[in-house]
Amino acid sequence: MVPCQGGEAAAAPVAGGKEPEVPLSREDGAGTGQPCLCPAPGMEAAGAEERRVCGCCSGSSWTCCCKAPGTKKKAACPGLGLFYTVLSAFLFSVASLFLKKIEGVHSVEVSAFRCVFQMAFVLPGLIYYKTGFLGPKGKRIFLFFRGFLGSSAMILLYYAFQVMPLADATVITFSSPVFTSLLAWIFLKEKYSLWDLLFTLFALTGVVLIARPPFLFGSRVTGIEGSYTDHLKGTIAAITSTVSAASTIVILRKVGKSVHYFLSIWYYAVIGLIGCVIALFVMNEWRLPYCGKDRVFLILIGLLGLGGQIFLTKALQIEKAGPVAIMKTMDVVFAFILQILFLNHLPTWWTVGGALCVVASSSGTAIRKWRQSLKKAKQNEI
């Protein structure tokens, strides 16, 4: 028995005494640290390939070996990426619940605290990866707008959470994939089909069912928090937040992989913090919470938001974007559950209908994009 590489016995040494390099066939390119003990050339008859035994796979046949040509490494834990997505959705939903529980703290101030936590997390990463703090010269304008639009989306979403039901605001944000497709068609010249138009109409229908404008539903609107004026302001803020978030995704697509992920978050946090501080002084809303409980909530919002973003990023690293986008609809489920259990606010049938429209729209968009990516990958293989 002799060590083998890539399923073929080592050839004669090349000039210089070095053995020929054979690329590993496993996806991660990492070995197990054990040699693959396969029969030496000539020890087995032709056609007996299947009876060969691999020492690194506990006696499995050579055709099933982890290092056999064309064999892909099995996932260490199937479904781990989807679990990370659900965990991320739960953390984001709990952070939104704590935001509803805070009293006397403006949404802009909450956003400022969130930016501080983001900066504290990203700064060590920038130093470790030596990315710098400004980024490539040709990409700085894109990074600036990414930071401005991303932080604006966060501030507007926090405001929507404070003035309207938690489930309503969460559902509206799920129309983001639809707006992303529309903006990508306008600015990136990506394909926009009749299916995309249908999904857009579904999402807008869901938003209308949640907003329930008086000219369609009459002057007596039920199932809202506070006055209808605040509900309408929250709806407008949530829609604007969704469009801003979609614009951010389009910008990130434009930038591509030329800018490190940490640098993108750094712009988001720094520009957001500067904008929040300016807005707080202009509005004269800067003040620390009077109650110790609110201060704890602020810290928890920062930690939970950061944790949600980390797990969502890890999910996208090990799982395809389509399944992650579909599983992320658990945000809506958690929002409904938390609103009923801790806020004693039952959603109306209008909200449930709007949620079904928006979730169907975003899921349809995600599934369609996923199938397109799989089809493109198969064509590239051919």
Q: Measure Cα distances from 375 to 92, 311, 324, 371 in Å.
A: 33, 28, 18, 6
Instruction: Please give the torsion angle defined by the CA atoms of residues 159, 146, 190 and 196, in that order, rounded to the nearest 10 degrees.
Output: -10
Query: Tokens representing 382?
Result: 């051919």
Model confidence pLDDT, tens digit, residues 90-105: 999 999 999 888 877 8
What's the pLDDT at 221?
Answer: 66
Q: Of the given ranges (20-29, 154-163, 251-260), which has the lowest mean pLDDT?
A: 20-29
Confidence of residue 126 (pLDDT cuts 50, 70, 90): confident
SS3 96: helix
Structure letter (DSSP) for residue 284: T
CA 365 to chain centre: 15
What value does the mean pLDDT take over residues 26-51?
A: 42
42-51, 138-147, 176-185: the lowest-pLDDT one: 42-51
**pLDDT tens per residue across span 246-302:** 888 888 778 777 777 788 888 888 999 999 999 888 887 777 776 678 888 888 988
Evaluated on CA atoms 288, 293, 299, 305, the torsion sign reads negative
Can you say how many angstroms the Cα of residue 297 is from the centroid of all Cα atoms in its chain?
24
Q: How confident is the model over 52-99, as pLDDT tens digits? A: 445 444 444 444 554 455 544 544 576 788 888 899 889 999 999 998
Share of the chain above pLDDT 70, in %: 75
**CA neighbor of 135 nearest in space, from 265, 235, 33:** 265
What's the pLDDT score for residue 61?
47
Task: Using the Cα atoms of residue 320, residue 321, residue 326 and residue 327 in order, give the sign of their dihedral.
Answer: positive
Please tell me the predicted confidence (pLDDT) of residue 271.
Answer: 93
Mean pLDDT of the chain, nearest integer: 75
For 3, the enclosing helix (H) or strand (E) is strand 2-4
Residue pLDDT, tens place only, 177-223: 788 888 888 888 878 888 888 888 888 888 888 877 765 666 566 66
- Inform me whether the pLDDT recorded for 175 exceeds 90: no
Strand partners, 15: none
For residues 241 and 216, the answer to whether their CB atoms sit within 8 Å is: no
Of residues 344 and 236, the one with the higher pLDDT is 236
pLDDT in tens, 231-246: 888 899 999 999 998 8
Q: What span, in angstroms and rounded, lies between the C-alpha atoms of 90 and 322? A: 19
Task: Round to whole Å and give the CA distance between 309 and 149.
Answer: 17
Distance CA 245, CA 152 (A): 9
Question: Which residues, other chains included, contact 14 with Cβ-Cβ below 8 Å and sequence gap of 6+?
Answer: 20
